[in-house]
Every structure is written in C-alpha cells, then in structure tokens.
Amino acid sequence: MTAVPVVPLPPPAIPELATPSVWPASAVSAPGGDVTVGGVSLTELAERYGTPAYVLDEDEVRSRARAWRRALPDAEVVYAGKAFLSRAVVDWMEEEGLGLDVCSAGELELAATRGFPAERIVMHGNAKSPEDLRTALRLGVGRIVIDSDCEIARLAAHVPGPDAQPVMVRVLPGIEAGGHKKIRTGAEGQKFGLSIAGGDAEDAVARVLGQPRLELIGLHSHLGSQIASPEPYAQSVRRVIAFMARIRDRYGITLPELDLGGGFAVAYLPGDPAPAPAAYGRRISDELVSSCAEFGFPMPRLTVEPGRSVMAPAGIALYRVLSVKRSGSEVFVAVDGGMSDNPRPALYGARYTVRMVGRASSAPMRATTVAGRHCEAGDVLAEAVELPEDVRPGDILAVPASGAYQVSMASGYNMTGRPPVVAVSRGRSRLLVRRETFDDHRRRDVGL
C-alpha cells in the first residue's frame, strides 16, 4: 500500500492525537477526518482488511523495545509474550535484542518455529501442565520459574540430564501495586508466587537446593500490571535483595540473578500517568545499588519483563458502527466487535479513548457509550467517550492503546471469529494474523 499524503495535526482540534503515549508517535491527521499510522490510512486499512481489525505500528513496537534496553543497559530485557505474540513479533523481539517470556507450551512452540534462542526464554506459569514442562525441557529454555512447592519434584523428575535445569523461585514480596485488584500479583493471599514473610519462599528455596537436577540461579517477583510509579519496584528490590542475603547467610549460596517482572503502566486515556522506561530504570538501578550495599550483597544480574508497555501503545483497534440507539439521555453506538476481541472492560473496567475516522464532522461532540455486539449487558467497550452527534451506521471508530491483552485474550464467543492483525510501517501494511472464519470453527467441530 502506498503512503497517503498527510498534514500536520493542529493539537487544539484533536488533543488526544497530541498525546504520544495514547496513540503511536506516527499517528497524524489526514484529509477528510482520517488518521494515518505508520504512513497508512486507517480508513483504507478498514476497507482492505475488514472490521474489526487490529493495527500494529511495527516501528513503535521496535522503538519501545529499544527504550527499555537504553533504560537498563546492563540488564536483560525480556518481552512478556502474553501481551500479544505472533511469529512476526517473535522476530521483532529477537532483532531488537530482547528475550522472551512465555506461559505455555503453545507460546513456546510458536517461538521455536522462528528459531528464537531457547536460552533467552523464560517459562512462567502458576500451574504448568506436564506438556508445558516437557516442552520447556525438550527445547532447553534458559530459565523455568517455579511457582509452587509441588512443581519442584515434578520438574526435577523430568529433567533428562546430565546438566541441571536452571530455575528461579517466584517470591511474593508483600507489596500491593497495580491498576485493579484483579491484576495485582505481588501481595499476600493470591495464587502467584511463594511468600517471603510467611516462610513459603524459603522452604521452596531449600527444597530446590536439595534437587541435584535443578540449578537455582535467582529469584523472581512480579507485582502486577498498570503500575504507574517506580516506587513499588524499588520496594520490591529492597525486600528481595534482603531475602537473597538471608539465603546466602543460611545456605551458603549467592544467587546471581534477580527478575523483577513487568507491569509497567501505559496511558489508555490522555493524561494517564505512564512513566517512561528511563524513569523506572533510574529508580530500580539506584535502589539495587543501595540495597546491595546495605546488605553486603554482590550486584545480581537484573531482568525486567515489559509486555504491555512495549505493545499496547503500538496497537489500534478498528470497528465499524452497526447501530446508534438513543435511550433517554444516553446514546449507545454498537460496533461489530466487542468482548470477544477485547474482554478487558468487562474483566476489570478498562477504559479507552475512541475516535471516529474517515469522515469529517462539524456536529457537536456528545458523551457516548460504545457497546459491543454480544449478548451480554456488560459488553461495553468504552463509556462516556466524546463522539460527534451525527455518528451513524457505517462509520469507522478507532481505539488506540489496543496492542496488548486484547487479541491475545480474544475468544470465540458467538462464533464471530477473532479479528486479523495488520502491521504497518513506512507507508505499507501487511497481514500478520488472518481473520478467523466460520470454516475454522467448523473444522474444530468433529462430533456428529
């Protein structure tokens, strides 16, 4: 696809496009009310690939990956594949020098199809299946993160030898952080990790050290998601380094690695707090130096696992309006997607910016609810968003900050089919993931 002529955006007219953390940096306004991303018209993409569709600005993804490497040049940066993973994304991460965090045999096998170096892969999961563990061991992943006591013996029994499998223990530092209670994973009393305060983490460490086929190389922690301040990470560094020092003193082993996980916030609405990677990097590095000095512990190799902060701001969801309904003072605009391609609003109240593209309108703006097409009252994509009063069926709506935890969490609800994913870069587009069709559903249904 050839590049579309673009004009500079007047910030007062469309303020949300002036916020790079909400839209990709390449997003600019174009004639006729359109918006281009990566030099490609969103309207043309909707026409060419249909709707709903997801657009990824490849250059934005790469830029954000590089920003994390610059923020922590001495650390290992590992992309959290659960945010969104495809074969192209695997290639982008390898080319940008990032490792890969996977949570299932499926994600691991996908990485293997692209020849991603297994030693740069971290395997997660609070309940890894036998297939997950067998696949990780067969492919030789660099680290497996142990998340429960019962996983220790099970994993050790499957290590073929003669070399021990490098592992980390996921610990709970007892820190409450994250944008919603359903995405907070570092506090006590939930399914992830092993408590430092309660003694479970130390028990697990002792058991791993007693398994000759497992090599304990470090500790892992993950506080949650949408953490909009570096301070919780600094607290986690201090608590985990203190625990690593205690392990050294009691067991005579100095663990060489510390993985702080991810969860770094992005902006979904203009004005949302979303520190740059450099801000997180400075605070984490300062606290690591300070804590190691305080506890007399040698500096471990640091790992961070950004996923959302690499992928979300690079993605845009495109929908077509199917109906407009006015009920009292409320306006409902229903589109051809919904919770089947984006369950986040229904799961934990996620909020989004929405903009009409492809048609200029002089009508006044009005608070509008953008609803999905599915048979659930909770199928609402965005509430109280400003759209023109004359929005009508056939119009195209664009939802920025849609690159993470949407397509990766998509379902087959109502057999509508999961949407395609399209990459844009330098005025051209290419299909990464095709649209799921009824034939795909039919082939899976083998019972008669």
- For the record, the structure tokens of 145 come out as 């993160």
- Are residues 119 and 163 in contact, defined by beta-carbon separation less than 8 angstroms? no
pLDDT band for 193, please (50, 70, 90 cuts).
Answer: confident
Q: What is the pLDDT of residues 138-150, one digit of tens each?
A: 999 999 999 999 9
- For the record, the structure tokens of 369 come out as 């609810």
Whole-angstrom distance, CA of residue 34 vs CA of residue 332: 23
- Under CATH, to which class is 59-309 assigned? alpha beta
Whole-angstrom distance, CA of residue 70 vs CA of residue 72: 6
Please return the burial class of 74, using the count of CB atoms within 10 Å of its CB with bins 0-12, 13-18 and 19+: exposed
C-alpha 215: how far from its chain's center? Answer: 29
pLDDT at position 16: 56
Topology of domain 15-57+313-443, per CATH?
Answer: Lyase, Ornithine Decarboxylase; Chain A, domain 1 (2.40.37)
pLDDT band for 443, please (50, 70, 90 cuts).
Answer: very high
Tell me which DSSP letter residue 407 carries: G
Whole-angstrom distance, CA of residue 383 vs CA of residue 399: 13
Whole-angstrom distance, CA of residue 448 vs CA of residue 320: 36
Domain boundaries, the chain: 15-57+313-443, 59-309
Mean predicted confidence (pLDDT) in 91-113: 97
Whole-angstrom distance, CA of residue 430 vs CA of residue 278: 32
C-alpha 358: how far from its chain's center? Answer: 29
Whole-angstrom distance, CA of residue 259 vs CA of residue 275: 20
- Do the two domains 15-57+313-443 and 59-309 of this chain adopt the same fold? no
C-beta neighbour count of 320 within 10 angstroms: 18
Q: What is the pLDDT of residues 270-299, one digit of tens each?
A: 989 999 999 999 999 999 999 999 999 999
Whole-angstrom distance, CA of residue 360 vs CA of residue 363: 9
| β-bridge partners, 433 | 421
Q: Is the model's pTM score more than 0.85?
A: yes
Catalytic residues: 375
- Are residues 420 and 48 in contact, defined by beta-carbon separation less than 8 angstroms? no
Interacting residues of 437 by C-beta distance below 8 A, sequence separation 6+: 417
Q: What is the pLDDT of residues 427-438, one digit of tens each?
A: 999 999 999 999
